[in-house]
Structure 1
Amino acid sequence: MREKTDVLIVGGGIVGAATAYHLARQGVPTVLLEAETLAWGATGRNLGFIWVHTRKVGPELDLVMATRTGIDQLVGELDADVELQTNGGLVFFQDERQAPVMRELVEQRNANGVPMTLLSGDEARELVPLLPPAVLGATYCPLDTQVEPTLWVQAFAGAARRLGAQIREGVRVERLLREGDRIVGVATDAGEIEARDVVLAAGGWAPELAATAGLELPIHPMRLQIVQTLPMPRETRHIVYGSNALKQYSTFQDLPSFDDSLFVNEVEWRHDMLLLEGLSQKADGSYLLGCAMDYPGFVWDADLRGVSLINEVFMEHIPRLREAGFAKAWAGILPFTVDNLPIVDRMPGVDGLIVAAGHVFGNGSGPTSGQLVASMVTGEAPVISLEPFRAARDGLQLTADSSVW
């Protein structure tokens, strides 16, 4: 006989773990399956940013703010240390030609209801002493937040388990079980499990698993590479971007004064790879430096090109990091859709399958997505509108070569 449960979640990243938590809070019998260990995929391989600074007004910002607004209460409910820092984030610049664009960004963000300040170079260094004298200024948003992403996932999963959910690591889902127009469960390497609802929260693996039931998902893989240093003196309590990172965000690209040539580093051209220039300091004093970006498919390894790009740019822009010891480097596969919004919806054409995948900014949007999935299961009113996240919305594409956030 097949094992049975009400809801079966495929994937132990932030979306899956948050979904398990919110369902367990409602008393819904829930099983979560993770092929490796919790946060093994994209969730556990990023800088830990909950980034508000450049989130587009509308559903993208709504997804993150639903998490950010109540994050202190949420962490208290989870009853776990996630290394939460709510000190805000900076984007520094070193070229005076960039100053008018940064000023315009601050004006636009404040007009959109996102609090932001333009700091002088001295004010930026007061917040982040690591920054060198060459930094002329920075934008500062007090809403930007940092968590340790693996602890973030484990906190949701641990709370879900205490509320009665089953969290099973090392169980690989091999295919979805389809009977006619209904998904009835999954086949795993440990046997079959039947469920009233299957939640596909498998990130970059979601299209492959959907295909086992004859379904197509317009979700694509992007590789991000990160370098971790050995511990250094603990002095950076804000999350930090370099201004060149902003060219990845449509909020910035859409500014009338934006000029792409002012926000591209020569090292990026030389390595033929973009850098989302960001850093954060962990509780142990080590720095996470990232993120080299490209689109090689499901390549989970860092390469010398990406590591060289990260090291060269950071040694140029923040000379004190030349003293940093090298600890390790890794890569993660970030799932994306062409409109930068996840799919959080019951899959059209079949019953019994909810898709919650395609999260580019999962640390902030994952907890909200978990609430949305729980509302679909229980019939309660969603915390924000589900319409922007429909699987059949206009504009999604089954192929994509690159992404702009």
Structure 2
Amino acid sequence: MEAEFAIIGGGIVGLSLAYGLLKRGKSVCIWDEGDSAFRASRGNFGLVWVQSKGLHQPAYAQWTRASARAYRSFADEIETVSGLPLNLQQDGGYIIHMSEDSLDADRKLYDGLRNRLGGDYPFEVMGHNALKTEEPNIGPKVAGALYCREDGHVNPLRLLRGLTIAVRQLGGTVRTGHRVTDIQPQSAGFTITDQNNTTMVAEKVVLAAGLGAMTLGPQLGFTAPIRPQQGQIIITEKLPKLMNRPNVEVRQVDEGGIQIGASSAEVGLNDREDVATVAGLAAHAVDMFPKLAHARMLRSWAALRIMSPDGLPIYQRSVQHPGAFFVTCHSGITLAAAHAGVLGDWLTDSAEQPDLTAFGEDRFDV
């Protein structure tokens, strides 16, 4: 075998898995399509986020929290190996609400999840005045926020670069510009072929190709029930300190600019931004933080999330082809620590591996 593991997909998910496997002494080769791919890892919001995750599936809430708790040591490792600061901050975060009704509706959902978790789910409800004490620059239209002390954010592009460096430092191979077109199960292992008919044989294969799994998944016996969901983002010029903590729609990045996002649209494989959505995002951000009315927009873009039918990750072993795994999620940043950590126990059939039954493809069987 040329490698014990071939990982298809060189984004945050694939690199995190590779890093965890390399730490376990496995040989790993990553096949990465390159910049022609729909790269969620280059277009995301950079949140390490707990609140609102798993409101209807407690197992996802627990999985997310476990990754968030492991994030500091994970980030420290990547910084040490790569030499890049990731600017991780985990000082809490908000979901800001513009009406009392929506704030109360979400509070009830959070209370329900807390009850299902035996009281172990951290959040606070902050009215306008309490939030303004923490965030003096919020506007008068803000009703309040839900606050979770375990939330945070990271520089996602540095995380991507840092993971790439770390994987190579640990002996992993990253083949960039190699779009996998065919994966053939053999009597022992798998033969992987790219668009240039370059091939290799690996003992095991992990499909972490984002939206590319829609075509590659069936070759390995996966249904791969995923779809693209478009989100758009705005970046402003660098500004003086405007906010102390991130929220899911507006955050101040480590370089000083303001990142605005959280749109969603079902438009298929379309990653082109539109003026109407950008204008709506900007207007909403100004309602939250009026000082943004005078900020200059430097750039904007659209990117595609990878969404399962219920929005949760999918972790699946192939029944037809043992040794093949399917890993996908739309929270690759938040879950990077779990993917580099305990998910490696699942991929290597360790005696102690996480319970992933809630995240199998069979949950979609009707």
Indicate whether the TM-score tops 0.5.
Answer: yes
Partner Cα separation in structure 1 for residue 325 and residue 349 of structure 2 = 14
Structure 2 equivalent of residue 282 of structure 1? 253
What's the counterpart of residue 188 of structure 1?
A: 194
2:127 aligns with one of 120, 123, 126:
120
Partner of 1:387: 357
Residue in 2 that maps onto 1:205? 212
Task: Indicate the residue corresponding to 1:130 in structure 2.
Answer: 137
Q: Percent identity?
A: 24
Name the CA shift for 1:62/1:380 in 2 (closer, same or farther; >3 Å).
same
Shift of 1:108: 4.4
**8 Å contact 1:344–1:373 — kept in the other structure?**
no
Q: What is the distance in 1 between the residues matched to 2:151 and 2:360?
A: 27
Determine which of 361, 365, 372 is the counterpart of 2:335.
Answer: 365
Q: Does 1:327 find its partner at 2:298?
A: yes
Instruction: Give the Cα–Cα distance (whole angstroms) in 1 for the partners of residues 39 and 161 of structure 2.
Output: 13
Aligned to 2:58: 58
Q: What are the ranges of 5 or more consecutive residues in structure 1 without an aligned counterpart?
A: 242-277, 398-405
Question: Counterpart of 2:284?
Answer: 313
Partners of 2:95 and 2:323 in 1: how far apart? 44
Paired residues for 1:143-158 under 5 Å: 143-158=150-165
Q: Give the match for residue 4 of structure 2.
A: 6
Counterpart of 2:90 in structure 1: which amino acid?
Answer: T
Which amino acid letter does the alignment assign opposite residue 313 of structure 1?
H
Query: Any idea what SS the aligned residue of 1:139 has?
Result: strand
Partner AA of 2:66 in structure 1: A
Worse overlay, 92-101 or 198-207: 92-101
Equivalent residue letter for 1:58? P
Kept in 1, the 8 Å contact 2:286–2:293? The answer is yes
2:332 equivalent to 1:344: no
C-alpha contact (below 8 Å) 1:344/1:369 kept by paired residues:
no
Measured in 2, the distance between the counterparts of 1:7 and 1:231 equals 42
Amino acid at match of 1:20: A
SS of the residue 2:85 aligns to:
coil
| Secondary structure of 1:23 counterpart | helix
Query: Offset at 1:369?
Result: 3.2
Q: Give distance in 1, aligned partners of 2:335 and 2:135.
A: 27
The Cα shift of 1:215 comes to 5.1
Instruction: Note if contact 1:337-1:396 (Cα within 8 Å) is conserved in structure 2.
Output: no
2:92 to 83, 88, 91: 88
CA RMSD, 1 decimal = 2.5
Q: Tell me how far apart the structure 2 counterparts of residues 396 and 327 of structure 1 sit (CA, whole Å).
A: 45
1:61 positional shift = 1.3
Q: Could you tell me whether the CA contact under 8 Å between 1:12 and 1:39 is conserved in 2?
A: no
CA distance in 2, matches of 1:209, 1:105: 37
Residue 218 of structure 1 and its aligned partner are, at CA, apart by 1.1
- In the superposition, relative to structure 1, how do residues 109 and 216 fare at CA in structure 2: closer, same or farther (>3 Å)? closer
The count of corresponding residues between Structure 1 and Structure 2 is: 356
With the length of structure 2 as denominator, give the TM-score of the two structures. 0.88
Equivalent residue number for residue 271 of structure 2: 300
SS of alignment partner, residue 9 of structure 1: strand
Q: Do 2:38 and 2:303's aligned partners in 1 also have CA atoms closer than 8 Å?
A: no
Q: One-letter code of the match for 2:33?
A: A
CA–CA distance in 1 between the matches of 2:133 and 2:291? 16
1:31 CA displacement: 0.8
CA contact (8 A) 1:87 1:145 kept: yes
1:296-316 deviation digits (Å, cap 9, x = unpaired)? 111122122321221232234
Q: Distance in 1 between matches of 2:325 and 2:6?
A: 10
Query: 3-state SS of the aligned residue for 1:350?
Result: coil
Match of 2:234 in 1: 227
Matched to 1:84, the amino acid is L
Conserved? CA contact 1:224–1:294, under 8 Å:
yes
**Helix, strand or coil at the partner of 1:230:** strand
**How far did 1:86 drift?**
0.7
| Distance in 2, Cα, partners of 1:81 & 1:37 | 24
Give the 3-state SS of the residue equivalent to 2:238 in structure 1. Answer: coil
Classify 1:4/1:231 alpha carbon distance in 2 versus 1 (closer, same or farther; 3 Å): same
Deviation at 1:106, TM superposition (A): 5.8
1:351–1:280 distance in 2 versus 1, CA, 3 Å? same
Cα deviation code 1:355-383 (max 9, x no counterpart): 111x1222122432344552234221455
Alpha-carbon distance in 1 for matches of 2:17, 2:36: 14
Contact 1:120–1:136 (Cα < 8 Å) also in 2: yes
TM-score of the two chains, using structure 1 as the length reference: 0.80
CA distance in 1, matches of 2:223, 2:98: 45
State the Cα distance separating 1:346 from its structure 2 match: 1.5
